A and B are shown apart, each in its own frame.
Chain A
Amino acid sequence: MSDVLTVPRSRRNIELVLLVLALAVAVGANYLAGIGREEPFNDYFWSTALTLGLMSLFIHVILRFRAKYADPVILPLVIALNGVGLAMIHRLDLSAAAASPDFTPVAPQQVLWTAVAIGAAAVTLILLRDHRILRRFTYISLIVSAILLLLPLTPLGLEINGARIWISVGFGTFQPGEIAKITLAIFFAGYLSTNRDLILLAGKKIGPLQFPRFRDLAPMAAAWLVSIGVLIFQRDLGSSILFFGLFMVMIYVATSRVSWVLIGLAMIGVGVFVALELFSHVALRFDSWINAFTPEVYDRAPGGSRQVVQGLFGLANGGLIGTGFGEGRPDLVTYANSDMIIAALGEELGLIGVVAIVMMYVILVSRGIRAALGTKDGFGKLLACGLSFTIALQCFVVIGGITRLIPLTGLTTPFMSAGGSSLLANWLIVALLLLISETARRPAPTGPMKDSFPEVLGVNGKPVKKRPEKEATR
């Protein structure tokens, strides 16, 4: 865990310039999505543009006052991604509405969730001020994660498409697991930054690898149990990969021991083998990944490869420069607006557009890692690493699944997919990353330290009066 110094400079003006560019991308995408198929500049267009514009300026103003030295590129990138996602969801709504008139559009609800999510990020920025406060909640956040993960198994839970990861709240559904990834990251960061030395120093050395003591493996076993439990009881492969990957990365960053990664990979190997033997849905996923183009697999009713193959056809149809918004047929893919949104964007924006989007994710994640390198405290380092890694892992699992590099698993594309809980969780992650980058880039206090020391107390317990002539020379 090393420190990298940065020249302290606020750079909020650069953020404003980039934010204007990002809003141009977001609003431009929304304009293009509806062009030729609905009245331009209708109410929906204005509500989207105003939501994104006003909320992002709100965050910008908060940053100017509260976190002056925060990273200048995170906010514009996220706004651009969010806006392009909204545009694609709206464009798919238009296709679906043309096919069946009684279709309820998804996009207006997503705009509402965007406003809620950015508002939540703003509240986090205002109330939290310093991410180190979260360290006090290390074990509380473990309990909160457990509760959040167990909620879908209670009568509140809903089972949709075989996965039991949703709960029904008054106005819709919510995935508590999305929030659980933040609370789990807080727990791992707090636990590992406290017990790092213990885990590092105790243990047997076998060959070139130092293996940890058995009891230090307990949190790792807990993480493994959580992910396997999610896999068994909620039947959600994506989240279970995400939780376990998060823990592996954080423990590797904390200890820089390869042995942990080997143990983790061995454990996940055992888990995958057992899952393949026991659960038909995992085995079907693998089959439809390897034999995607076999007609029987393509046509199989549950767990067929139709979705991923249609996505690949869409990507092929898009080619290098894409068909343009509204010109392709991404609506043929099931779940085009959530799981498969990258395939839809790949069809309509082409390779050039999708690579730009992937680049935005890469820069976003690299800024998160940069904040981790820059901040001084171990908790902040681990938290920033873990949070930015969740974004990276989600992108990898989703885009890898769509391009058939790995089996397709149902994870959301951060900031783009339709789904309020994912959007909310990712905006909260952005708020935390902004706070951590602020402590990383803020200049160390210079000049007289007079004000930062507590007042000197005299014998009678009252503050000692300063001599007046000393005051006069100041």
Chain B
Amino acid sequence: MSEAGELTVTLLRFGFLLLLWVLVLSTVGALRRDLVVGRRNKVGTPTAREIRRNPELVEEPAPGRPSARRLVVTEGPLAGTALDLAASPILLGRAQEATLVLEDDYASGRHARLFPQGSRWFVEDLGSTNGTYLAGTQLTRALPVEPGVPIRIGKTVIELRP
């Protein structure tokens, strides 16, 4: 075999070894997304970079326990009262069986209901006389409540806190 031919064969030989490793390493590279998911499972909150690459990471923050943990009365006769939220619905009103008994003349007996569904809390008006207002708009159906958004019942304003 000529010298040039031998050189080509040697180059091809090394090229083949290189190609083998390029395949292995690009396979590992293609699997990186799975590793990102693994990190999410471990730490919980994805970093900004991971969110930019995988927008679906934030859309659904893992169903299970609702994010809000406490209910706080911010205005009205009961201002300052706080209530820990469990996974069960909460009845708001003047009636004695209500979870949070409102001493508010403008509230109905069974005024509104807060209930968890999936990872969120929803508020629903139970046919009260004066209505329930979520962030200033009167409720006509059950709506999801984000933490920090005020719910007005008569003169009382309550908020969910994480």
Tell whether A and B belong to one assembly.
yes
Knowing A9-B33, A35-B9, A36-B1 are in contact, say whether A80-B16 is a contact too (CB < 8 A). Answer: no
Closest to B23 in A: A21
In contact, B34 and A363 (Cβ under 8 angstroms):
no
Bound form: Cα–Cα A22–B37 in Å: 26
Decide if A271 is an interface residue (CB 8 Å cutoff): no
Question: What B residues does A349 contact at CB under 8 A?
Answer: 16-17, 20
B56 within 8 A of A: yes
Q: How far is the CA of A72 from the CA of B9 in the complex (A)?
A: 33
Interface band, chain A: 35 or more
Within 8 A of A (CB), among B1-38: 1, 5, 9-10, 12-17, 19-24, 26-28, 30-31, 33-34, 36-38
Chain A residues whose C-beta falls within 8 Å of the C-beta of B5 in the assembled complex: 36
Residue on A nearest B34 in the bound complex, by CB: A6
* Residue contact B41 to A5, C-beta cutoff 8 Å: yes
Are A76 and B23 interface neighbours, CB within 8 A? yes
Task: Tell me which residues across on chain A come within 8 A of B15, comparing CB atoms.
Answer: 28
The answer to whether A321 touches B17, judged by C-beta atoms less than 8 angstroms apart, is: yes
The reply to whether the CB of A385 lies closer than 8 angstroms to some CB of chain B is: no
Complex CA–CA separation, A352 to B16 (angstroms): 11
Interface string of A50-80 (1 = CB under 8 A from B): 0000000000000000000000110011001
Q: A324 touching B9 by the CB < 8 A rule?
A: yes
Of the residues B12, B21, B56, contact of A356 by C-beta under 8 Å: B21
Q: How big is the B interface, by class?
A: 20 to 34
A1-29, CB under 8 A of B: which get 1 and which 0? 00011111101001001100110110011
Do the beta carbons of B27 and A77 come within 8 Å of each other? yes
Determine whether the beta carbon of A5 is less than 8 Å from that of B37.
yes
Whether A14 and B30, one on each chain, are in contact in the complex, defined by CB atoms closer than 8 angstroms, is: yes
Q: Chain B residues near A427 (CB, 8 Å)? A: none
* Contact partners of B9 in chain A: CB under 8 A: 35-36, 324
Check B20 against A32 for contact (C-beta < 8 Å). no
- In the complex formed, the residue of A with least CB distance to B12 is A32
CA distance A356 to B25 in the complex (A): 9
Partner of B20, one of A5, A25, A36: A25
- Answer whether residue B99 sits at the interface, using C-beta atoms and an 8 A cutoff: no
Confirm or deny: A370 has a beta carbon within 8 angstroms of a beta carbon on chain B. yes
**Interface presence of A378 (CB below 8 A):** no
Q: Does B54 contact A (CB under 8 A)?
A: yes
Residues in B neighbouring A324, C-beta threshold 8 A: 9-10, 13
Are A73's CB and B27's CB within 8 A? yes
Contacting pair B57 A7 (CB below 8 A): yes
The chain B residue sitting closest to A441, CB to CB, is B34
- Quick check: A363 and B13 within 8 Å, CB to CB? no
User: In the complex, A124→B28 CA distance in Å?
Assistant: 27
Residues of A within 8 A of B31 (CB): 73, 363, 367
A29-B16, A350-B17 known; A6+B37 contact, CB < 8 A: yes
Q: Mark B72-116, 1 if CB is under 8 A from A, else 0.
A: 000000000000000000000000000000000000000000000
Q: Does A360 contact B (CB under 8 A)?
A: yes
Partner of B13, one of A14, A18, A22, A325: A325
Q: Determine the distance from Cα of A90 to Cα of B34 in the docked complex, in whole angstroms.
A: 37
Most buried by A among B13, B22, B28, B54: B13
Residue numbers in B under 8 Å from A6 (CB-CB): 34, 37
Known: A5-B37, A7-B56. A73 touches B30 (CB 8 A): yes
Given A7-B56, A7-B57, check contact A356 B24 (CB 8 Å): yes
**Is A278 located at the chain interface by the 8 A CB criterion?**
no
Q: Contacting A76 at CB < 8 Å: which of B19, B27, B33?
A: B27
Give A5 to B56 CA distance when docked, in angstroms: 12
CA distance A353 to B16 in the complex (A): 9
Chain B residues with CB under 8 Å of A357's CB are 20
A198 at the interface (CB under 8 A from B): no
Q: Please indicate the chain B residues that have their CB under 8 angstroms from the CB of A14 in the complex.
A: 30
Closest to B20 in A: A356
Contacts of A353 in B (CB 8 A): 16-17, 20
The answer, yes or no, to whether A265 is at the interface (CB within 8 Å) is: no
A359 CB–B CB distance under 8 Å: yes
In the complex, are the beta carbons of A32 and B24 less than 8 A apart? no
Chain A residues near B36 (CB, 8 Å)? Answer: 7
Interchain nearest-CB distance for B2 vs A (Å):
11
Rounded to whole Å, the gap between the CB of A351 and the closest CB of chain B is 10
Docked Cα-Cα span, A148 to B127, in Å, equals 72
Report the separation of the CA atoms of residues A36 and B34 in the bound assembly, to the nearest whole angstrom: 44
Q: List 23 A-B contacts (CB under 8 A).
A: A4-B41, A5-B37, A6-B34, A7-B54, A17-B26, A18-B26, A21-B26, A28-B16, A28-B19, A32-B16, A72-B30, A76-B23, A77-B27, A321-B14, A324-B10, A324-B13, A350-B17, A352-B21, A356-B23, A359-B24, A360-B24, A363-B28, A370-B34
Residues of chain B at the chain A interface (Cβ within 8 Å): 1, 5, 9-10, 12-17, 19-24, 26-28, 30-31, 33-34, 36-38, 41, 54, 56-57
